[in-house]
Amino acid sequence: MSPTPLASAALQQFICGAGMGLGRKDDSQVVKVYERITGVPVGGSGSGSGGGKTAASEEVEKGVKKNVTVIGIGAMGGGIARSILSCEEVCTVVGYDRSEELMENFHKEAIAVGKGASTTALPTELDQAVTKKTNVVVIVLVNEAQCEDVCFGGGGKGTNLLTCLQEGSCVILCSTVSATWTRKACKQFQSKGILFVDSPISGGPARAKTGDLSMFVSGDDSSLRAAMPILKSAGRHEEVHIIEGGAGMGSTVKMVHQLLAGVHIACAAEALALAAKAGVDVEQMYDIVNGAAGASWMFTDRGKRMVGSTEPEVKSALSIFVKDLDIVYSEAKALQSPIPIASVALQQFINGVGLGLAMKDDSQVVKVYESVTNIPVGKWS
């Protein structure tokens, strides 16, 4: 007995499709099960935009050297901050983080390339990192609560970005948060004359260091023009995707992306656990799938860690997918759009947290299945 909750949810969708008379149609038309419920067509919109570039997105503000502060300089934010150091349109880059060690290391690097802040003292408060000279702030924080506090909180001191930033400055939000929160934040900043760009990211720490991230960018034309030099220094040019519809649409695209990413990781775990339970050599199973139609980027990347002989380095913590798939769940519920498979995947990651795996690599959701089958997938298990 080996649990297959995601496969079971998928089966129900195909059964629904057969009930709708789609039994002899191409299997891709299972999408019509979702269309029937949402009332919104997926195919045939003709809205492809060749990457979503707009005239405004290709324009760059000229003659204004930017003083940039990056808030959150951990694995992703630190890479982004270092990529921004190479941007010709940037005068200074300040890194702000709860970790003094991270700030000190980045400050030395910024000074070394002539783009450090004028003061030698590290900022201990937000208003020391974001001053009247700051005209761009890049936010790379872990969750919505942290973003809310930095942007509009500050406790009794009342020190936050809304109070620190000058009119005409620009906020670039790179954190993965809900589109609902993003739109609210945009309105609050715009009420003070502050530009706002919604730009969640994908690609991991290695690509962040090389300025090779995928970025899902949305905002009004003025905001995009102000942010474009920074975005192009942090993201690979063809992967800086401009999403029409204003702030919030970038976060919506990231939400859909994370639905696929989370489901693929959980499905990889489910498949490999089933193979192990059935007595198949999991390394051979992994190699076979990689050369066949069932492969995905996530299967290739995370599956390798699942079948490995040593405990994997934490590239992305399992708890992140609890957060991200919960955003998917909440936004889909508000939109009344069914997500049966993603909902089951979320539960598997929640189960992982319950097993004490919150800060382990997200590939270790496979241990949720191992705990039920009593058959190890990885050799180190």
320/215 same-domain check = no
Give the model confidence (pLDDT) of 2-42 as tens digits. Answer: 999 999 999 999 999 999 999 999 999 999 999 999 999 99
Q: Per-residue b/e over 329-360, b at no fewer than 16 CB within 10 Å?
A: bebbeeeeebbbbbbbbbbbbbbbbebebeeb
In a domain, 143, yes or no: yes
For the full predicted model, state whether its pTM sits above 0.85. yes
Please check whether residues 187 and 269 belong to one and the same domain. Answer: no
Is there a single domain that holds both residue 270 and residue 346?
yes
pLDDT tens track for 130-163: 999 999 999 999 999 999 999 999 765 669 999 9
**Domain of 111, in residue numbers:** 55-246
116/61: higher pLDDT: 116
pLDDT at 156: 56
SS3 339: coil
Q: Is residue 256 part of a domain?
A: yes
- Could you list the beta-strand ranges (E) of the chain: 66-71, 90-96, 136-139, 170-173, 195-198, 201-202, 213-217, 235-242
Q: Give the whole-number percent of the chain exceeding pLDDT 90.
A: 87
User: Are 241 and 93 part of one and the same domain?
Assistant: yes
The residues annotated as belonging to the active site are 254
Identify the pLDDT of residue 93.
Answer: 97
My answer on whether 266 and 228 are in the same domain is: no
Domain contains 304: yes
DSSP label at residue 214: E
Residue 186 lies in a domain: yes
> How many domains are contained in the chain?
2
pLDDT (tens digit, 9 = 90+) per residue, 238-267? 899 999 999 999 999 999 999 999 999 999
Regarding whether 176 and 97 lie in a shared domain, the answer is yes
The confidence band for 51, taking pLDDT boundaries of 50, 70 and 90, is: low
Q: Mean pLDDT over all residues of the chain?
A: 93
Based on the fold, state whether residues 218 and 94 are members of the same structural domain.
Answer: yes
Return the CATH number at 97. 3.40.50.720
* 61 has a pLDDT exceeding 70: no
- Model confidence pLDDT, tens digit, residues 302-353: 999 999 999 999 999 999 999 999 999 999 999 999 999 999 999 999 999 9
3-class SS shares of the chain: helix, strand, coil, % to 5 = 50, 10, 35
282 with 148, same domain: the answer is no
Residues 200 and 336 in one domain: no
Which percentage of the chain shows pLDDT scores above 70? Answer: 93
Looking at 69-78, 120-129, 144-153, 296-305, which range is the least confident one? 120-129
Do the domain assignments include residue 380? no
Residue 318 CB: number of other CB atoms within 10 A?
25
Which residue, 183, 217, 246, sits at the end of a domain? 246
Domain-located, residue 176: yes
The pLDDT of residue 60 is above 80:
no
Are residues 154 and 79 both part of a single domain? yes
Model pLDDT, residue 54: 58
- Domain of 325, CATH number, reads 1.10.1040.10
Residue with tokens 């039994």: 23
User: How far apart are alpha carbons 190 and 275 in whole angstroms?
Assistant: 53
